[in-house]
Structure 1
C-alpha cells in the first residue's frame, strides 16, 4: 500500500516535471505519446493522473490557438520544486534524453496545424495555421472539392510549412 502511494506520487511528479521541461502547452495526445514511448505509465492510469492534476490545479487547459492544450500552472511548478527529489534519477534522465531528441518536433506539432472539415455541397474546408510565440503567423482556410485534396494539403502543410509560408509571403509582397 505504501509503495503504491509512493509510485502514484512519483508518477504525478514525473508528469509535472515533463510539463515544466517542455515549457509550452501540449495536447493530451502529445503527453500520452511521451509517456507511452518511455513506458512510464499505462494509458488509463495516465488519463486518471492527468484528470487529478487538472482537478488539483497543478495543470490547466489553455485554448489560445483554438486547440485544447495542457500546461503546468504556477501551483504545479511550486509543488514540483518542493518534491522533485522524489522522482528517480533514471526517470529524470530518460525524460531529459527524450526531450533533447524530440522537443523540436513536439514544438512543430504545436505550432503548425492542418485539419479539414466537410463543408457545404460535399466540399472540404481546409484550415492551415502557423503560430509562433502565441502569435498567429498565418491562418488560411481553403475550400477544396475532394477528401483527397484536403488530406494532401494538410500533409504538405505539416511537412513543408516554413517553405510554403515564405512562398506565400513572397507572392503577396511581389505581386503588382
Structure 2
C-alpha cells in the first residue's frame, strides 16, 4: 500500500509540474478517476499528505481548491519520478494536450466571497493569466445568496463582462 501511495503522490506532483497554472481539486480528481488509478478518498488523502509535507500549496475558495507544486515538490519529483511508469506519464501529458484550453480557462477565472464587517458580503472576481491579474473586481452585495449568484455568473459570463467593461472604459 505504501508503494501505491508513493506512486499517487508522484503522479500528482508530475501533473502539477507539467503546467504553469494551478490545477483544481476537481481537475486532478477527474483525471485520476477517469483513468481508474484509484478512488476519490485516496486522492483527497494524498492531496492532504502533499500539503502537509509542503510539496504542494493549496488556495481554497468556497467551491474549489487550486494546487501548485512547490520548489521542494519539484526537487522531490526529480528524485522519485521513476516511481511512475512512462505509460502514466504519457497519460498525463495526453490529458493536458486534449484538455489544455478548458484547464487553463477553469483555473484562470476566480470568484469568491467573504463576510464583511457590518452587513453584506464582498465578492471578489478575478481573471488571471499565470501570475498576473487581468481583472480584479470586488463587489459588495447584501446577502449570501447574491454572493453565490455573482460567483456562479462570473464563472459563466466572465468574458462578455470583461469585454463590456473594456468597451465602456476605453471609450
TM-score bucket (shorter structure): 0.7 to 0.9
Tell me how far apart the structure 2 counterparts of residues 60 and 125 of structure 1 sit (CA, whole Å): 25
Higher-Rg structure is 1
- Unaligned segments of structure 1, at least 5 residues: none
- 1:129 is matched with which residue? 126
Q: How does 1:97-176 map to 2 (within 5 A)?
A: 97-114=94-111, 127-140=124-137, 141=139, 143=141, 151=149, 154=151, 157-174=154-171
Instruction: Flag the 1:117–1:80 CA change in 2: closer, same or farther, 3 A.
Output: closer
- 1:21 is matched with which residue? 18
Q: How does 1:37-76 map to 2 (within 5 A)?
A: 37-62=34-59, 68-76=65-73
| TM-score, normalised with respect to structure 2 | 0.76
Q: Greater helix percent: which structure?
A: 1
- Unaligned segments of structure 2, at least 5 residues: none
Q: CA deviation at 1:116?
A: 6.2
Instruction: Flag the 1:61–1:155 CA change in 2: closer, same or farther, 3 A.
Output: closer
Tell me how far apart the structure 1 counterparts of residues 20 and 40 of structure 2 sit (CA, whole Å): 23
| TM-score, normalised with respect to structure 1 | 0.74
Pairing 1:10–2:7 present: yes
Deviations 1:85-130 (A, max 9, x none): 22112211111111111132122112113456899xxx88754321
Instruction: Flag the 1:9–1:107 CA change in 2: closer, same or farther, 3 A.
Output: same
- Number of residue equivalences: 167
